[in-house]
């Protein structure tokens, strides 16, 4: 004689990696967009500190160390002077599209991918800083010169062994002039590349252990009944 147990529908279990929705998702993403805003503020603040005490009409160099100086430079291209011959509105449009795509990616990033969120926030903040400098700043600030303001000037001094090694390999000892936004963008891209390279492949989907044990138990019962 057997007794039938009442059937109860299994309730789906909430996964620990379930992404929040609505206001919870907005609250979860606010710190990362705040980080992007902080990167933007750092870029604009440093540009203000350097360029306004140093009049745009002056091109003098402020030597800080034997390998670093503060200079006045205006970059018509993107990071490190790339695409300097491109029409400004094309660069602005392309930069704007990239910012939108990266912001969407930052919004869509899973909550457990914190390093990826940090990298995206750095890139977004830096890109907005350079976009403002290129497209808005000449029309709203006293400094009306076109281009992105660069002031970080790095080079290898002649007395360094590194300088001799670079010259032997036909590499310049004076590197690109940049700004804080460029540094943030490059660091963010390097971090993203590192995450992609070191990313582990997704685990193969297998049968849950509990289900396997249950199936084995049912097979044993059926064999015993047949015997």
Q: Give the Å distances, CA to CA, from 61 to 47, 48, 72.
A: 15, 16, 7
Contact 182, 126 (CB under 8 A): yes
From the candidates 43, 133, 153, 182, which is the catalytic residue?
A: 182
Q: Could you give the CA distance from residue 221 to residue 215 in angstroms, rounded to a whole number? A: 10
24 is annotated as an active-site residue: no
Give the whole-angstrom CA distance, residue 149 versus residue 154.
15
User: Which residue, among 70, 78, 75, has the nearest Cα to 98 in the 3D structure?
Assistant: 78
Phi, psi of 108 (to 5 degrees): -85, -10
Question: Which is catalytic among the residues 43, 133, 150, 153?
Answer: 150
Task: Check if 182 is active-site.
Answer: yes
Catalytically active residues are 150, 182
């Amino acid at each position: 004689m057997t007794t039938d147990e009442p059937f109860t529908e299994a309730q789906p279990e909430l996964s620990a990696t379930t992404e929040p929705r609505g206001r919870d998702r907005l609250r979860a993403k606010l710190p990362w967009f705040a980080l992007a805003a902080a990167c933007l503020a750092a870029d604009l603040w440093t540009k203000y500190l350097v360029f306004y005490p140093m009049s745009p009409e002056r091109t003098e160099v402020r030597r800080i160390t034997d390998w670093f100086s503060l200079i006045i430079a205006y970059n018509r291209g993107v990071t490190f002077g790339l695409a300097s011959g491109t029409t400004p509105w094309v660069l602005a449009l392309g930069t704007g599209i990239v910012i939108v795509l990266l912001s969407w990616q930052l919004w869509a990033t899973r909550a457990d991918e914190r390093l990826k969120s940090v990298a995206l926030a750095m890139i977004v903040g830096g890109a907005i800083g350079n976009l403002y400098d290129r497209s808005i700043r000449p029309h709203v600030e006293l400094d009306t010169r076109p281009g992105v303001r660069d002031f970080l000037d790095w080079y290898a001094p002649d007395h360094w062994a590194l300088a001799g090694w670079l010259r032997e390999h036909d590499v310049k000892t004076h590197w690109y002039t940049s700004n804080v936004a460029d540094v943030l963008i490059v660091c963010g891209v390097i971090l993203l590349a590192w995450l992609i390279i070191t990313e582990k492949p997704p685990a193969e989907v297998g049968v849950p252990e509990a289900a396997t044990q249950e199936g084995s138990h049912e097979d044993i019962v059926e064999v015993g009944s047949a015997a």
